[in-house]
Amino acid sequence: EVQLLESGGGLVQPGGSLRLSCAASGFTFSNYAMSWVRQAPGKGLEWVSFSSNSGGITQFADSVKGRFAISRDNSQNTLYLQMNSLRVEDTAVYYCAKDLAAAGLRAFDIWGQGTMVIVSS
């Protein structure tokens, strides 16, 4: 079964850090680009970051550029999102999503169930 399982969410103070993980199974992880997408309470979906299949190309939304880093370990079938200098407005459910393509940013055909990040003092 094709599956993505996020972990690592939780409560963190403003200015703090958190690392999210996304474990993939049921498909050849190294063949596909991956993204992180978030949804803040009462808001719509917001794309956060992208990694090409090799991890050699990454992109970020302007709202997180310089604060978040994306990486992947293809030997462990795992995608990561390192979030630093967290702000209250980063509070959201974070989803990892599999892209249809290796190069990415085409469409997301598999989504995880999400992990909640709450930034609050």
Partner 1 sequence: QSALTQPRSVSGSPGQSVTISCTGTSSDVGSHSYVSWYQRHPGKAPKLMIYDVTKRPSGVPDRFSGSKSGNTASLTISGLQAEDEADYYCCSNAGRKVVFGGGTKLTVL
Nearer to partner 1, 20 or 112 (CB): 112
Nearer to partner 1, 88 or 100 (CB): 100
Nearer to partner 1, 59 or 82 (CB): 59
107: helix, strand or coil: coil
**For residues 110 and 28, what is the distance between their CA atoms, to the nearest angstrom?**
13
Name the one residue in this structure whose structure tokens are 């930034």.
Answer: 119
106 contributes a contact to partner 1 by CB under 8 A: yes
**For residues 77 and 98, what is the distance between their CA atoms, to the nearest angstrom?**
12
Q: Where along the sequence are the contacts to partner 1 (CB under 8 A)? A: 35, 37, 44-47, 50, 59, 61, 95, 97, 100, 105-109, 111-114
